Amino acid sequence: MRRLRLFSALAITLTAALAAGQTGAGETYDVVVVSGSSGGFGAALAAGRMGMRVALIEDTPVLGGMLSNGISNIDTYSFESLSGIFEEFRSRVKEHYGALMATDPIFRAPRLLDYKPRQSNVAAEGGRWEPHVADQILKEMIAPAPGVTIFYNTWATDAVLQGNRAAGVMTMNKRGERRVFTGKVIIDATHEADVAAWAGVPYRVGREARSPLEPHAGDIRFFNGTGEIMEGSTGRQDRAIVSYGLRLCIQHYGGEETSHILASPPPGYDKSKYLHSSYSGEITMPKSKAEMNANPVGNEMQEINWVWPEASRAERMELYQRYKNHALGFLYFLQHERGLKHLGLPKDEFVDNGHVPYRIFVREARRIEGEATITEADINPFLTGRGLIPQLRKDSISIGHYPLDSKPVHSKTDMSTPEKGNGDFFLANVVTPFQVPYGAIVPLHVEGLLVPVAVSATHVAFSAVRMDPTWMVMGQAAGVAAALSIRENVTPRQLPVERLQRELIRQKVRLLFYWDVSLDHPAFEAIQWLSVRKGLRGYPDRLFRPDQYLSRAEMSVLIANVFGLWPSVSNFHFTDVPWSHWAFREIETLFDNRLLTPFGVRPRWPDAGGYDPVRNAGFRQGQNFGAFEPDRPVTWGEMIGVLRILQSRQVHPPAAGPARKAFTPPEIDPGEWVNGIINDSRFASSLRTKTILPAEALTRAEACMLVAAMSERR
């Protein structure tokens, strides 16, 4: 299952590539992106917007991968999880169809009362589109990036190495012309990780064995109707691949028109292959079109695709033709056996390719081995997480929100059992937003290479990650990482992840999920940064409640985490903060660090006077500080008081490096002090116009902006 080729026989050196007598001279760029998939598009656009000279190599005439080749809806479970470049795409789709929304029934679909559909493909919100519209919008988005050059109908044929660094790719185009593209960073955005494999990156193909972190791995039979793992599921590892298919776009024709009806079946047609399909061609996109997504029986096939990940381009083109014939055979079956003669191929889609998509849907192929590997435990929160929240990834570069969704690996031939086939499961009721770590796109062993599509993940985890909203933002992260590493003269592996995260947050990329912190919220950047890097937490229901007043207990946790105070508990000092209180440790830590004086908590030891052998020789300790009122809102005056104490002294010097000199601030107006802290900080720009009243309570969002701004200055 694991394939390792440290120096592939296919890959050649940079010197040899440039001397190989190519038809086109070698071309050098900052960043070379292979494949205009959703991840490749995100990478090229992000790097181009950061001033990089980018070559984007795409083997079809369209951009966006499956977004323009048959997947015509948003595969995510919440609008609130969308961000970055994909959110720009969704917004443009919504704008594009604005004039049609009053007349096309697809835009008048019923909305839920809470405005939160289970799957966020509501057409009126930009959740559905036609393939040619997706291509048009993506090309409009990337056109203003002057440094990006797109080479359509061109594909990579080999990787170019310089030592253990990926230095470029060799290519061929539709006309048979060969070129070498070299770059400072190469981004392999293919679904198959071709460039990574040629360069010697180890990879996996198939399904891992069942394990404590992977209870749904390996050979599995699962009935989605009841959520049961069925008898006969061995959990054994194998090389099986989930089904692929040509995702036809279907037009609903009216009246007496018949030109769309297929006159004859394609080669190899056998109606028995389709008898158990329930697909009816229900309209799912604007202008009376439908997405053909019929599994396990319909336009998809299992088993023949197991060779696809490591196949040559010629072998893949043969498989493409078989999938094309199978999908057209299904359409013929629907028209002639089911009597659905109003269904046909649209005349305005894929006009130079027989009105069928240019590529099949490769759900999963190779998966690289990277610096980090995403497992089911990173997606399924009930394995190692807390409630609905998976374990925090401090190196997060994006989030996703989709169930673990694997498709069959074998054809469904036994109709006596209710499951869709070996390997199929859709864990709809354990879905929750998850994070993608930077290490998942940084491959082992090879420098100068990022892989944002065929990422380092197990088969089970990949089944949730493999959605275009997630892929596009992972690509965006790769493009940003490439640009930053070039600017700072380091390899992508050496790039500090916090540097990457700062830029991604600035670009409105979500690194951690909250239902109620929108991308345009004034505290979005501060809350994201503190949550990922400083351990800030929201509530168990994944709300942050940014506009709720900050309590004293919440303030204690915020200060202790952000400023790295060492936990210190010396006593139960407050009558209303027992050891079982959720913030007991942090409140006591602030007490021991003498940070609670702004709340009227004064040292009591001076009142004891000198040493008295009668009173002071024992070991008795009292709780004589009264109530702390941990749920009471914190005022601006109290918060500023705590931060000024921190500013005036170094509470705990770092373990290495010189300690900062203590600073004792003069008495100044609270508003002036706040302005001095937030000056030039992007985390707190909205506070610059706020009138600071010391007795007024501050919100959780305001506290985050102020604390994030101050943490930048320390």
pLDDT band for position 27 (cuts 50, 70, 90): confident
Answer whether residue 545 is part of any domain. Answer: yes
Return the closest-CA partner of residue 363 out of 242, 246, 452.
242
Residue 168 DSSP code: E
Element housing 560 (H / E):
helix 552-562
Judge contact between 319 and 325, C-beta under 8 A. no
Residues with Cβ within 8 Å of 163's Cβ and at least 6 positions away in sequence, in order, are none
Which residue, 298, 318, 344, sits at the end of a domain?
344
Return the closest-CA partner of residue 424 out of 382, 463, 467, 380.
463
Residues with Cβ within 8 Å of 647's Cβ and at least 6 positions away in sequence, in order, are 663, 665, 710
Judge contact between 166 and 446, C-beta under 8 A. yes
The token duo for 59 is 């083997």
Pairing of strands 154-162, 178-188: unpaired
Number of CB atoms found within 10 A of residue 680's CB: 9
- The 10s digit of each residue's pLDDT in 198-243 is 999 999 999 999 999 999 999 999 999 999 999 999 999 999 999 9
619 pLDDT exceeds 90?
Answer: no
**Domain boundaries, position 700:** 524-713
- The 10s digit of each residue's pLDDT in 428-443 is 988 899 999 999 999 9
Answer whether residue 189 is part of any domain. Answer: no
- The 10s digit of each residue's pLDDT in 301-324 is 999 999 999 999 999 999 999 999
The one-letter amino acid code at 470 reads T
For residues 696-701, give the mean pLDDT: 96
Answer whether residue 673 is part of any domain. Answer: yes
Burial per residue of 476-515, b for 16 or more beta-carbon CB atoms within 10 angstroms, e otherwise: bbbbbbbbbbbeeeebbbebebebbbbbbbebbbbbbbbb
For residues 381 and 390, what is the distance between their CA atoms, to the nearest angstrom? 4
pLDDT band for position 112 (cuts 50, 70, 90): low
For residues 572-580, give the mean pLDDT: 94
For residues 148 and 44, what is the distance between their CA atoms, to the nearest angstrom? 7
Question: How confident is the prediction for the chain on average, in pLDDT?
Answer: 92
For residues 536 and 529, what is the distance between their CA atoms, to the nearest angstrom? 9
Task: Looking at 286-412, list the stretches that DSSP marks H as alpha helix, in order from N- to C-terminal side.
Answer: 313-336, 376-379, 381-384
59 pLDDT exceeds 70?
Answer: yes
- The 10s digit of each residue's pLDDT in 626-664 is 999 999 999 999 999 999 999 887 544 444 444 444 444
260 pLDDT exceeds 50?
Answer: yes
For residues 469-487, give the mean pLDDT: 99
Return the closest-CA partner of residue 451 out of 372, 368, 362, 365.
368
411 pLDDT exceeds 90?
Answer: yes
Pick the more confident residue, 159 or 20: 159
Q: Minimum mean pLDDT among 122-126, 366-370, 398-402: which range?
A: 122-126
Which residue, 319, 344, 369, sits at the end of a domain?
344
Answer whether residue 610 is part of any domain. Answer: yes
pLDDT band for position 618 (cuts 50, 70, 90): confident
Residue 711 half-sphere exposure, CB side, CA atoms within 13 Å? 23
680 pLDDT exceeds 90?
Answer: no
15 pLDDT exceeds 90?
Answer: no
**Residue 242 three-state SS:** coil
Q: Minimum mean pLDDT among 42-46, 342-346, 410-414, 505-509: which range?
A: 410-414
620 pLDDT exceeds 80?
Answer: no
For residues 530-551, give the mean pLDDT: 94
For residue 685, the model assigns a pLDDT of 78
For residue 659, the model assigns a pLDDT of 45
Among residues of the chain, what percentage have pLDDT more than 70? 92
Answer whether residue 658 is part of any domain. Answer: yes
Residue recorded with tokens 């894929």: 350
For residues 113-126, give the mean pLDDT: 70
For residue 111, the model assigns a pLDDT of 54
- The 10s digit of each residue's pLDDT in 146-165 is 999 999 999 999 999 999 99
- 51 vs 48, 146, 388, 449, 670, CA distance in Å? 5, 8, 40, 19, 41
pLDDT band for position 35 (cuts 50, 70, 90): very high
Overall domain count for the chain: 2
For residue 657, the model assigns a pLDDT of 47
575 pLDDT exceeds 50?
Answer: yes
The token duo for 545 is 């409640």
Radius of gyration of the chain (CA): 29
For residue 10, the model assigns a pLDDT of 43
Answer whether residue 678 is part of any domain. Answer: yes
For residue 697, the model assigns a pLDDT of 97
For residues 292 and 298, what is the distance between their CA atoms, to the nearest angstrom? 8
For residues 118-131, give the mean pLDDT: 87
106 pLDDT exceeds 80?
Answer: yes
Give the chain's end-to-end CA distance (angstroms, integer). 48
**Residue 171 three-state SS:** strand
For residues 581-599, give the mean pLDDT: 96
Answer whether residue 604 is part of any domain. Answer: yes
For residues 86-94, give the mean pLDDT: 98
Beta bridge partners of 148: 54
Burial (CB < 10 A; 0-12, 13-18, 19+), residue 327, is buried
- The 10s digit of each residue's pLDDT in 343-374 is 999 999 999 999 999 999 999 999 999 999 99
Among residues of the chain, what percentage have pLDDT more than 90? 80
- The 10s digit of each residue's pLDDT in 468-477 is 999 999 999 9
Which residue, 322, 344, 366, sits at the end of a domain?
344
570 pLDDT exceeds 50?
Answer: yes
Answer whether residue 224 is part of any domain. Answer: no
pLDDT band for position 511 (cuts 50, 70, 90): very high
Rounded to two decimals, the pTM is 0.92
